[in-house]
Amino acid sequence: MAYFPAKHWDSGADKWDKTTENPNFPHYFYYYEADLYIDDVVKTAKIALELGSGSCGSTIRHVSASTRIVAVDYSPSMLNLPLRSEVFDAVFSRGLALSYASDPKRLAQEARRVLKGQGSLGIDFMNGAHAKKTRPEFCRFEPIGDALYYVEQFVEDGKQKRTGYRLPKDFKPPQPLEGSVFGGFRAKPDWLNLDGVEKEEWWAVFYTPAEARRLFRSAGFKRVRLFPLGCFTYGLRNKELPALPEGQ
């Protein structure tokens, strides 16, 4: 089993912007909300670093005449940032970079290293406090790399796991490949036979608020505040935001 491979992200690059900007996309609210918290992170920054920038939809929104942004995305060298120490006023991510990082401690340490002394880090992650074991959450067909995969996603052992079955090149489905649940189905179609099909497994990690606090404090961050999704949307952005208590 391995973290999501580069081919997984590469395969969706050509339609990523159209997907995240569609109000009917199930995670549209999440990206909208994330951009609001990033506004606060970079509002006084002269130069900022974005981790996991994807096709730079967020980068374009936050760059300005007074704020320059260096954008990097997923690659084997992502966690060893080829950047000098104490360069940036802010580092941020809109896309769960922490959950997808294969070495989260290194990610946190590198973010601290490239920040100036009073710099700020804004990063999101999947909240393990609400993760419930499921099998599957949904199933769907996805073109990944040069092949078509049947993918099952579920939650287990504090991880979001996906099992991808690489379908034969001559695969011909008797029914449409898309359903109504995240472009997929609640269960494997009855007509799909996976006997002897090669499979791969990938995962991303959930963190409880307490785990996230420990991770960033161990990397040298002195003040760690965590906020639930929604707090920036509901009129609280210009106030002292109600961070989650230490015990959560």
CATH at 13? 3.40.50.150
Place 246 in a pLDDT band, splitting at 50, 70 and 90.
Answer: low
Output the pTM of the full model. 0.77
Crossing angle of the two packed helices 209-218 and 104-114, in degrees rounded to 10: 50
Tokens of 180: 């109504």
Chain centroid to CA 8: 13
The predicted structure's pLDDT at residue 134: 74
Average pLDDT, stretch 208-216?
Answer: 92
Question: How far is 33 from 230, CA to CA, in rounded Å?
Answer: 7
| Residue 246 is assigned to a structural domain of this protein | no
Same domain, 11 and 117: yes
Same domain, 18 and 99: yes
Q: Is the pLDDT of residue 196 over 50?
A: yes
The predicted structure's pLDDT at residue 18: 77
The predicted structure's pLDDT at residue 243: 59
Same domain, 91 and 195: no
The predicted structure's pLDDT at residue 136: 74
Same domain, 88 and 190: no
* HSE value, Cβ hemisphere, 13 Å, CA-based, for 80: 2
The predicted structure's pLDDT at residue 96: 86
User: Backbone phi, then psi, for 164, in 5-degree steps?
Assistant: -110, 125
The predicted structure's pLDDT at residue 79: 39
The predicted structure's pLDDT at residue 77: 41
What SS3 class is residue 54?
coil
Average pLDDT, the chain: 83
| Residue 187 is assigned to a structural domain of this protein | yes
Work out the percent of the chain whose per-residue pLDDT is above 70.
86
Same domain, 92 and 147: no
Same domain, 165 and 193: yes
Place 194 in a pLDDT band, splitting at 50, 70 and 90.
Answer: very high
Return the higher-pLDDT residue of 233 and 163.
163
| Residue 172 is assigned to a structural domain of this protein | yes
Question: How far is 166 from 22, CA to CA, in rounded Å?
Answer: 29
Question: How far is 179 from 183, CA to CA, in rounded Å?
Answer: 5
The predicted structure's pLDDT at residue 69: 93
Question: How far is 182 from 220, CA to CA, in rounded Å?
Answer: 39
Return the higher-pLDDT residue of 13 and 77.
13
Task: Provide the terminal-to-terminal Cα distance of the chain, rounded to the nearest Å.
Answer: 30
The predicted structure's pLDDT at residue 248: 52
Place 53 in a pLDDT band, splitting at 50, 70 and 90.
Answer: confident
Residues 145-164: tens digit of each pLDDT: 889 999 999 888 888 899 99
Same domain, 11 and 71: yes
Per the structure, how many domains does the chain have? 2
Question: How far is 28 from 20, CA to CA, in rounded Å?
Answer: 6
Average pLDDT, stretch 167-192?
Answer: 87
Q: Is the pLDDT of residue 215 over 70?
A: yes
Chain centroid to CA 24: 19
Amino acid in the structure at residue 238: N
Its domain, for residue 24, covers 2-124+208-218
Q: Is the pLDDT of residue 232 over 70?
A: no
Same domain, 54 and 137: no
Return the higher-pLDDT residue of 224 and 242.
224
Average pLDDT, stretch 10-25?
Answer: 75
Chain centroid to CA 209: 16
Q: Is the pLDDT of residue 29 over 50?
A: yes
The predicted structure's pLDDT at residue 112: 95
Place 1 in a pLDDT band, splitting at 50, 70 and 90.
Answer: very low
